[in-house]
């Protein structure tokens, strides 16, 4: 069983810290840009409400009822066939895959904080060449920044739930919000602001394709850190009397608010300088820096703030990807926290180096398997297969295996019957079916 508990607000802060990550500031804006703006935002908000929130609550319920890691949770809570259900615990391995590429991206962000201070590129062309050059040719610098991000993440987790994870979140999350608000205030003074707001909030449904809907569902999932036992692990450390329904709403709300704020800030710059909103994953690394450049010294300051916020968001999320696996290893194998971290860390580090090499032109050959680079393999296997699969298993388990009266007993003090029925219906039918459709489509079409 799990010992250490969060303090007041610890769960909300840490879960918000987990949810708010690269997904909100890097991925959400470029996805919105690619999918035509407002209509995508509407679909995203609907999926967060109807699928994301239900699943979030389901993970919290599993953590709270079992007070244990993702493998034991299934064992403890299954009335029969516990030995079979424990295999659902595969999800704790998903973390190793995500972590390897996630820390590489945090490494890139570290480098961009450094670039922002004096070496912003002056044109999009130059920015593209410099970003592409970093990813495909700079082995040693990338390893350096990756190692930095990696070491920082593991060091924080090694300090424990309260002294490490909670403390970092208590400091970094408010700082992240302050930086975003400063950037938002500055954006308000620019001409692009109203265009950005129109772009994000006046939906034009003629621009929506079926792929946008799939992308929105998949992202709702990723952005709330669902499908691999992260929220479950944090909920296991929740203090006894915390209002779990309110906490879940809070986290989903904060996560959405940050994504929308980041979106407005980024698109204000894009429209202010007449740049293209639909340019894919390079949006913050390639299109923003040359725009900041045009603002002179002010641009350097804004750029440092922006990438620092991104780094903070990334680190608190990376930490949350480590914790469920460490919790499992210490529970199961009675390992010390240190030993668990060293074991897990070694695997992640090797994966990370391989993933990094797979993007380097001259080293590709050593890290390509089945014709695909290791970086892409990690991203694809985790985001398109393991996370949705984990989410589906959780929804089915909570919807059909755990006794309804048990769920009702836990949730009744915090929600009325109507809301409970709505949630129960969603977790039984809407969530698993929705996730299934997305997964099949991503895999086969």
Evaluate whether 122 touches 291 at the Cβ level (below 8 Å). no
Range 273-277 contact pairs with CB under 8 angstroms and sequence separation of 24 or more: 273/192, 275/124, 276/33, 277/32, 277/33, 277/37, 277/199
- The span from the CA of 120 to the CA of 129, in Å, is 12
Chain centroid to CA 188: how far? 27
Q: Kindly state the smallest distance separating residue 444's Cβ from ligand TRP, in Å.
A: 22
Residue of this chain nearest to ligand TRP (CB atom):
23
Q: What is the 3-state secondary structure (H, E, C) of 271-305?
A: HHCCCCCCCHHHHHHHHHHHHHHCCCHHHHHHHHH
Structure tokens of 268?
A: 């204000």
Pick 55 or 124: Cβ nearer ligand TRP? 55
Task: List the one residue out of 351, 299, 295 whose CA is nearest residue 321.
Answer: 351
Q: Which is nearer to ligand TRP, 259 or 275 (CB)?
A: 259
Give how far Cα 32 sits from Cα of 68, 137, 142, 292, 433, Å.
37, 30, 28, 21, 24
CB 201 within 8 Å of CB 366 = no
Interface residue with ligand TRP among 124, 321, 415, 438 (CB under 6 A) is 321
Q: Rule CB under 6 A: is residue 23 a binding residue for ligand TRP?
A: yes
Q: Restricting to residues 330-389, which ones interact with ligand TRP according to CB under 6 A?
A: 387
Q: Is 18 in the site for ligand TRP (CB under 6 A)?
A: yes
> Per rule CB under 6 A, is residue 24 in the interface with ligand TRP?
yes
Q: Minimum Å distance from CB 129 to ligand TRP?
A: 27
| Contact call for residue 256 and ligand TRP (CB under 6 A) | no
- Decide if residue 51 touches ligand TRP (CB under 6 A): no
The residue count for binding ligand TRP (CB under 6 A) is 16
Q: Is 439 in the site for ligand TRP (CB under 6 A)?
A: no
Q: Using an 8 Å Cβ cutoff, are 405 and 388 in contact? A: no
Binding mask 99-128 for ligand TRP (x = CB under 6 A): ------------------------------
**Binding to ligand TRP by residue 308, rule CB under 6 A?**
no
The secondary element (H helix, E strand) that includes residue 368 is: strand 368-369
Contact 309, 25 (CB under 8 A): yes
Q: Give phi and psi for 123, each to the nearest 5.
A: -140, 160
Between 363 and 385, name the residue whose CB sits nearer to ligand TRP: 385
Site string for ligand TRP, 387-406 (x = CB under 6 A): x-------------------
- What binding mask, one character per residue, do residues 219-238 give for ligand TRP by CB under 6 A, x or -? ---xx-x-xx-x--------
CA 197 to chain centre: 24
Q: Which is nearer to ligand TRP, 153 or 225 (CB)?
A: 225
- Residues 92/96/101/103 CA torsion (nearest 10 deg): 100
Smallest separation, CB 118 to ligand TRP (Å): 29
Q: Can you tell me which of 22, 233, 265, 266 binds ligand TRP, judged by CB under 6 A?
A: 22
Q: Which of 6, 13, 17, 21 binds ligand TRP (CB under 6 A)?
A: 21
Nearer to ligand TRP, 319 or 396 (CB): 319
Pick between residue 252 and residue 288 the one whose CB is nearest to ligand TRP: 252
User: How near is the Cβ of 18 to ligand TRP at its closest, in Å?
Assistant: 5
Instruction: Give the Cα separation of 136 and 356 in Å (integer).
Output: 9
Tokens of 321: 């990807």
Question: Under the criterion CB under 6 A, does residue 180 sit at the interface with ligand TRP?
Answer: no
- Residue 15 within binding range of ligand TRP, rule CB under 6 A: no
Nearer to ligand TRP, 121 or 227 (CB): 227
Answer yes or no whether residue 88 interacts with ligand TRP by CB under 6 A. no
Rounded Cα distance between 187 and 34, Å, is 21
Q: What's the rounded Cα separation, in Å, for the pair 301 and 26? A: 19
Q: In angstroms, give the least distance from the CB of 36 to ligand TRP.
A: 21
Q: Provide the binding-site residues for ligand TRP, judged by CB under 6 A.
A: 18-19, 21-24, 222-223, 225, 227-228, 230, 317, 320-321, 387
């Amino acid at each position: 069983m799990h010992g250490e508990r969060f303090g007041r607000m610890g769960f909300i802060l840490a879960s918000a810290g987990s949810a708010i990550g690269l997904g909100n500031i890097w991925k959400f804006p470029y996805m919105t840009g690619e999918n035509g703006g407002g209509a995508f935002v509407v679909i995203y908000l609907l999926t967060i409400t109807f699928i994301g929130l239900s699943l979030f609550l389901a993970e919290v319920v599993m953590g709270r009822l079992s007070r244990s890691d993702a493998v034991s949770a299934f064992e403890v809570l299954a009335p029969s066939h516990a030995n079979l259900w424990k295999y659902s615990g595969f999800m704790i391995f998903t973390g190793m895959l995500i972590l390897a590429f996630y820390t590489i991206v945090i490494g890139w962000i570290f480098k961009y904080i450094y670039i922002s201070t004096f070496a912003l590129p002056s044109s999009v062309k130059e920015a593209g060449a410099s970003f592409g050059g970093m990813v495909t040719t700079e082995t040693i610098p990338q390893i350096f920044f990756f190692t930095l991000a990696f070491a920082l993440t593991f060091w924080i987790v090694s300090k424990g739930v309260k002294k490490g994870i909670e403390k970092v979140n208590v400091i970094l999350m408010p700082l992240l919000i302050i930086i975003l608000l400063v950037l938002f205030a500055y954006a308000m003074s620019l001409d692009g602001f109203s265009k950005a707001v129109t772009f994000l909030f006046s939906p034009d449904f003629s621009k929506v394709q079926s792929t946008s809907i799939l992308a929105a569902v998949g992202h709702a999932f990723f952005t709330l850190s669902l499908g691999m036992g992260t929220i479950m692990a944090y909920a296991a450390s929740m203090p006894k009397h915390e209002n779990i329904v309110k906490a879940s709403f809070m986290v989903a709300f904060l996560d959405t608010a940050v994504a929308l704020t980041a979106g407005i800030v980024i698109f204000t710059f894009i429209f202010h300088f007449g740049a293209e909103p639909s340019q894919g994953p390079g949006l913050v690394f390639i299109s923003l820096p040359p725009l900041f450049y045009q603002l002179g010294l002010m641009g350097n300051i804004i750029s440092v703030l922006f990438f620092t916020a991104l780094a903070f968001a990334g680190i608190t999320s990376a930490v949350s990807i480590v914790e469920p696996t460490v919790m499992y290893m210490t529970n199961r194998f009675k390992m010390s926290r240190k030993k668990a971290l060293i074991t897990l860390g070694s695997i992640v580090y090797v994966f990370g180096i391989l993933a990094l090499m797979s993007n380097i032109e001259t080293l590709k050959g050593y890290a390509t398997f089945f014709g695909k680079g290791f970086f892409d393999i990690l991203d694809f296997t985790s985001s398109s297969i393991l996370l949705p699969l984990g989410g589906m298993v959780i929804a089915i388990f909570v919807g059909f295996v755990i006794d309804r009266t048990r769920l009702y007993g836990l949730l009744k003090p915090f929600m009325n019957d109507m809301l409970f029925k709505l949630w129960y219906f969603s977790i039984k039918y809407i969530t698993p079916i929705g996730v299934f459709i997305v997964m099949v489509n991503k895999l086969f079409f």
